Amino acid sequence: MKQMAFFPVLAEDIRAILTGTAWTGVGHAATPEMRAGFGYADNEDEEADWAALTIASVAGVAIPTRIILAAEVSVDVGADTEFGEVTATVTAADLRAAFRAEPAQGEGVRAAAEAVTGKRLAGAWDDPAVTALVADQDLLWHLPEEIAG
């Protein structure tokens, strides 16, 4: 069964997918373990997906452009079940959207990236620089083609 998953990526990853390459990576999804850990009920799909997107944005904070790819894919559950870690192969047919930080957010992204260097996701999640980034700096919705250039 396919589900929505969110992957921190580079623009060149999106370009490769759009030109026919099957890309495999680690992302985050509203898995049963993540839903339980964050307190989402079965009928709160949109909220749980938003949380998975946010988690992916924290996991990808080291990517300077802060790009998150949304894809509807078959997933394998990863090691970090609390945060809905999944692995999946993404093709162009799976793409649904891409989210990207505004260019003006660069300084906040850099500060958060420096603050979490060497930390696992659980440590990064609670870091004040990351908390500020997530609270104050929205990701903008795009078609994947817009980010791929």
Nearest to 78 by CA among 41, 29, 116: 29
Higher pLDDT, 105 or 9: 9
Give the integer Cα–Cα distance in Å for 72 and 54. 17
Taking residue 139's Cβ as centre, other Cβ atoms within 10 Å add up to 19
Question: Across all residues in the chain, what is the average pLDDT?
Answer: 90
Q: What is the pLDDT of residue 114?
A: 85
Could you state, in order of their start, the residue ranges of all structural domains in the chain?
3-101+140-148
Mean pLDDT of all residues in 31-47? 95
Report the alpha-carbon distance of residue 33 to residue 81 in Å, rounded.
Answer: 6
Band of residue 8 on the pLDDT scale cut at 50, 70, 90: very high
